[in-house]
């Protein structure tokens, strides 16, 4: 499945028929702001390409030096100074950090509420466990299963996946009750409508399949 997702990942412009990945706990809601900030940090000092450099504890530099020499990776030493300085510069901008955290919390809250309400409207039998943090919704689809078994959970997972949405089933996470799914909602905001539309279609098809199989 990981290989399939990597090869056929959804993109609204480049691959609109790809699979929407709602299984990996990543947060894209402030991606543009984060990328812009990182691109604004231009730090490279010529002394970083030599060893020893002027920053850092001498004993630590010596240990790193011996480690890199023994591994034949002395070029990495120059990168260490760059990464340390870049990280320190990024974290030292407290005003930006505070504004980013506030914006991120706001967008997560809004996206969570939107996805939760939409899923509950798809079928009011679906129970969403209330959450106050995190990137995912923990959804109980047991009432939709034809039989409350892990085999039927896997069947529902397969139908949803065939309609272009990848979720993580509860059994994969060690859940003792069949029918639970983890749904990552912190995907790109412009993608969420497509994901919810596909999820609804998958559930509609699954309901028809279960009715047909019980006749």
Q: Which tens digits make up the pLDDT trace of 33-67?
A: 988 887 787 644 434 333 344 455 566 566 556 65
Dihedral sign of CA atoms 171, 154, 204, 179 in order? negative
Q: Are 179 and 141 in contact (CB under 8 A)?
A: yes
Report the chain's mean pLDDT, rounded to a whole number.
84
Q: Which tens digits make up the pLDDT trace of 78-134?
A: 656 767 777 888 888 999 999 999 999 999 999 999 999 999 999 999 999 999 889
Separation between Cα atoms, residue 195 and residue 193, nearest integer Å = 5
Record the pTM: 0.76
Q: Domains in the chain, please, with CATH?
A: 2-26+96-214 (3.90.1150.10), 38-92 (no CATH)
Long-range contacts formed by 93-100: CB under 8 A, 24+ apart: 93/37, 96/37, 100/30, 100/33, 100/34, 100/37
pLDDT for 210: 58
Dihedral sign of CA atoms 98, 99, 104, 106 in order? positive
Separation between Cα atoms, residue 60 and residue 205, nearest integer Å = 60
């Amino acid at each position: 499945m990981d290989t399939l997702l990597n090869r056929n990942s959804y993109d609204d412009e480049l691959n609109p028929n790809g699979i929407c990945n709602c299984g990996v706990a990543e947060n894209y809601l402030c991606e543009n702001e984060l990328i812009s900030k990182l691109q604004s940090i231009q730090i490279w000092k010529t002394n970083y390409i030599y060893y020893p450099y002027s920053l850092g504890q001498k004993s630590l530099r010596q240990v790193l030096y011996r480690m890199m020499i023994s591994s034949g990776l002395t070029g990495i030493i120059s990168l260490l100074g760059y990464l340390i300085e870049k990280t320190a510069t990024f974290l030292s901008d407290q005003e930006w950090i505070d504004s980013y955290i506030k914006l991120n919390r706001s967008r997560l809250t809004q996206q969570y509420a939107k996805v939760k309400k939409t899923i509950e409207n798809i079928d009011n039998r679906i129970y969403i466990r209330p959450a106050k943090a995190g990137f995912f919704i923990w959804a109980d689809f047991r009432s939709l299963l034809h039989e409350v078994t892990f085999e039927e959970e896997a069947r529902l997972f397969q139908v949803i996946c065939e309609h272009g949405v990848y979720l993580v089933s509860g059994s994969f996470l060690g859940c003792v009750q069949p029918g639970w799914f983890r749904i990552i909602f912190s995907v790109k905001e412009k993608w969420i409508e497509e994901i919810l539309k596909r999820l609804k279609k998958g559930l509609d098809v699954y309901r028809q399949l279960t009715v047909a199989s019980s006749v």
